[in-house]
Amino acid sequence: MTDEEKIKQSLLVAHLYYEENMGQAAIAKKLNLSRPTISRLLRSARDSGLVKIQIFNPLLNADELSQQLSKKYGAKIMVVPSNFNGETLSINSVGAYTADFLTKIVRPDDIIGIGWGKTIHSVTTRMENQEVPGVQVVQLKGSVNFENERTYAYESINELGRVYHTQPQYLPLPTIFDNQVTKEMVEQDRFIKAVLDCGKKANIAIFSVGTVRKSALLFQLGYFDEGQKENLQDHAVGDIVSRFINKDGELVDEKLNERTVGIQLSDLKEKRYSILVASGVAKLAGVNAVLTAGYANHAVIDLALAQALIDYERV
């Protein structure tokens, strides 16, 4: 076996073990290798630096992390303690904390724009009815997909509409069109244009960041072929409102961006509250890019992600 072949095999085994949560015995069976070989490949991946393991201290004070990260990024970073409001999963703790935060900041006649996905859904499902007159809620990006994958797009905005006793403003379009001409024609429709303008005028934006891992939700919705996915994995660290960015927060594919439906990244900087909600260290690079570029002036994150951000340095 050549060195290159060993590296590829080590990477494959590490991916199955650490990202797909497969046991060594299951990996050995899947790859038709012995259990000791799997163990050696995992050790080789760690020793060679292909895999880096970081231990997080759950006793580290969330308030201290919030202060350090707020100073680092020049934004209000809220670090959520473990098991907030009795939630056992980090994503749900972050959702509950964000829901509480929203109830404190929403004013009469505010416009709240939201993205979609599991993280946003964890927020909207934990909100209680509010008596704030004149509030509008609107989708910040297209919400139609071509696969049988749950984005929670309609569930989330419907829940938010119920909370504020208002009719949601849907954006019933694909997130990404096949070509720019079709997308621009559709956006000229009077109804669609009104919804897009409402999203741009929203003074509160709530969104998460996606990854470029194979399991990323946006990769499962039928918008990209394998070549396009590989290109994004090579150049992007994640996406916000379905616009892919690099480690500096810059767009990685202008043509793709021109086919994407929804709010522009520059619009996020104009919000009174531009709130990034994220959970899990898999989103580390994406969250760092969003905060570094200033797309979010507030962020709600879990302890593990906060600890990883403290020492994170871009490569």
Helix/strand/coil for 5: helix
Tell me, what's the pLDDT at 315?
A: 41
* 43 and 163, same domain (yes or no): no
Do 88 and 69 form a contact (C-beta atoms < 8 A)? no
Integer Cα distance of 215 and 18 in angstroms: 13
Q: How many residues in the chain?
A: 315
Integer Cα distance of 46 and 298 in angstroms: 35
* 11 and 71, same domain (yes or no): no
For the chain, the distance separating the N- and C-terminal CA atoms, rounded to the nearest angstrom, is: 30
* 66 and 44, same domain (yes or no): no
199 belongs to a structural domain: yes
* 253 and 177, same domain (yes or no): yes
Tell me, what's the pLDDT at 294?
A: 97
* 131 and 227, same domain (yes or no): yes
The dihedral of CA 297, 303, 306, 310: what is its sign?
positive
> Residue 43 belongs to what domain range?
3-48
CATH number at residue 42: 1.10.10.60
CATH number at residue 305: 3.40.50.1360
269 belongs to a structural domain: yes
* 37 and 126, same domain (yes or no): no
93 belongs to a structural domain: yes
Integer Cα distance of 207 and 268 in angstroms: 10
54 belongs to a structural domain: no
* 90 and 181, same domain (yes or no): yes
* 284 and 187, same domain (yes or no): yes
Tell me, what's the pLDDT at 146?
A: 64
| H-type alpha helices, the chain | 3-14, 24-31, 35-47, 62-73, 90-105, 118-124, 153-163, 180-187, 190-201, 226-235, 254-258, 265-268, 284-293, 303-310
* 10 and 132, same domain (yes or no): no
53 belongs to a structural domain: no
56 belongs to a structural domain: no
* 159 and 203, same domain (yes or no): yes
* 28 and 100, same domain (yes or no): no
Q: Which of 94, 119, 99, 96 is nearest to 217 (CA)?
A: 119
- Does pTM top 0.75 for this prediction? yes
Q: Which of 87, 225, 205 is nearest to 146 (CA)?
A: 225
Mean pLDDT per 10-residue interval, the chain, length 315 residues: 82 85 88 90 83 61 93 97 90 97 97 96 97 97 79 95 97 94 95 97 97 88 90 94 96 95 96 97 95 98 94 65
* 250 and 117, same domain (yes or no): yes
Give me the number of domains the chain comprises: 2
Burial of 179 (0-12, 13-18, 19+ CB in 10 A): exposed
CA-CA distances (angstroms) from residue 270 to 153, 158, 202, 297, 312?
Answer: 23, 25, 9, 10, 27
